[in-house]
Amino acid sequence: MKTLLLTGFEPFLEHSHNPTEAIVKELDGKIIGKYLIKGRILPVVFGQSADKLLRYVEELSPEAVISLGLAAGRNKVTPERIAINVNDGVRDNSNHVPVDELIKEDGSDAYFTTLPIRDIVNNLVENGIPAEISNTAGTYLCNNVMYSLLHDSKQKGVDLPSGFIHIPASFELGLTNGKLPAWPLSSLKAAVEVAIKTLN
Ligand code: PCA
């Protein structure tokens, strides 16, 4: 049985819940498609999140890694195509506000995901789940962890499929912000399961 490391994030900014945390906790230990799921939660802190992710990869030696993040405001499940060498944006959970920082001094400007995102999107849509490829993971923590693992695999010459999937907000978040597209957690979880089942 192959192992898949599935990561989610803790709540951040004004979001009282992070649906990725709930999904990862529910799927931890389950067998989905060809994979046993190992679920881990990452902090929303520049300088901690990527280190933790790389440590989990070392510890678990997974055959694939999918990181999940909340993209409040999106109304589709969006696998990310590309991660860029930038930290920039709003405060993290330690109140650090990065401005135009490089993630890696020696890193490429960008890395493409090594997940089969076209197949994942096609499979999601066939299963009735709105989905499309996203061409920007932003410059916050989601981009940061995606970039960091792709960089690490490249440096080590390791062939580890990894990447990032942003998901819409869940009902809890919609309750406090009526303008936010908000999905039931069960649909968000089903989307993640479909994505995992797409992998060889
Ligand atoms: N989403 C943020 C960070 C944590 C999360 O769930 C992002 O899109 O960068």
Question: Does ligand 1 lie within 6 Å of residue 134's CB atom?
Answer: no
- 36-61 burial, b at 16+ Cβ within 10 Å, e below that, comes to ebbbbebbbbbebbbebbbebbeeee
CATH number at residue 117: 3.40.630.20
Q: Give Cβ neighbours of residue 143 (< 8 Å, ≥ 6 apart).
A: 80, 83, 84, 86, 137, 164
pTM: 0.98
Q: Is 142 a catalytic residue?
A: yes
Reported as a single tens digit per residue, the pLDDT across 185-196 is 999 999 999 999
- Does the Cβ of 140 fall within 6 Å of ligand 1? yes
Q: How many Å lie between the centroid of ligand 1 and the Cα of residue 180?
A: 16
The answer to whether the CB of 165 is under 6 A from ligand 1 is no
**pLDDT tens, residue by residue, 163-175:** 999 999 999 999 9
The number of distinct structural domains making up the chain is: 1
In three-state secondary structure terms, 140 is coil
Tell me what percent of the residues of the chain surpass a pLDDT of 90.
98
- Expressed as residue numbers, the domain containing 145 is 2-198
Residue closest to 22 by CA, chosen among 68, 56, 59, 63: 68
Span 59-81, pLDDT tens digits: 999 999 999 999 999 999 999 99
How large is the angle between the packed helices 49-60 and 141-156, nearest 10 degrees? 40
